[in-house]
């Protein structure tokens, strides 16, 4: 039995484009799924679970990307990733939970850095 493949075209709506922080959110979310995730821009196909691959797309606001998911949880993965892109990578609406017990809050991260320097 072959794995299910689903795909959808999305448009980057974030005014800053798909820079490091949104790419990190995308990759962290993609890695929560078992499916293979690929992102396509102008026939260039990259691994959707690799931040370096995502950053090579240099996707600015208005760029159209095709997200492809293949696997048992492909539909759920595609839905979650497309929602993240459609929401402009808003961490308040679609961010995956922090990993390794790290806080997703920038202020918490800054506090921990300040504590280390004292």
- Which of 5, 6, 7, 19 is labelled catalytic? 19
Residue 88, H or E segment: none
How many structural domains compose the chain? 1
pLDDT the model gives residue 112: 41
* Per-residue pLDDT tens over the stretch 35-90: 999 999 999 999 999 999 999 999 999 999 999 999 999 999 999 999 999 999 98
Task: Look up the pTM and report it.
Answer: 0.75
* Region for 71 from its dihedrals, namely left if φ exceeds 0, alpha if ψ lies in -120 to 50, beta otherwise: left
Residue 43 annotated as catalytic: no
Range of the domain at 75: 5-117
* Per-residue pLDDT tens over the stretch 12-24: 999 999 999 999 9
Tell me the CATH number at 13.
3.30.1340.10
Asked if residue 34 has pLDDT above 60, the reply is yes
């Amino acid at each position: 039995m072959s794995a299910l493949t689903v795909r959808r075209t999305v448009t980057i709506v974030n005014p800053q484009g798909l820079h490091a922080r949104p790419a990190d959110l995308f990759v962290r979310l993609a890695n929560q799924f078992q499916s293979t995730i690929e992102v396509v821009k102008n026939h260039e196909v990259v691994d959707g679970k690799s931040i370096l691959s995502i950053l090579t797309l240099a996707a600015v606001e208005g760029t159209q990307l095709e997200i492809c998911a293949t696997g048992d949880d492909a539909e759920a993965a595609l839905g979650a990733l497309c929602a993240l892109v459609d929401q402009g990578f808003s961490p308040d609406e679609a961010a995956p939970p922090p990993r390794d017990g790290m806080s997703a809050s920038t202020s918490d991260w800054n506090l921990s850095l300040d504590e280390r320097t004292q």
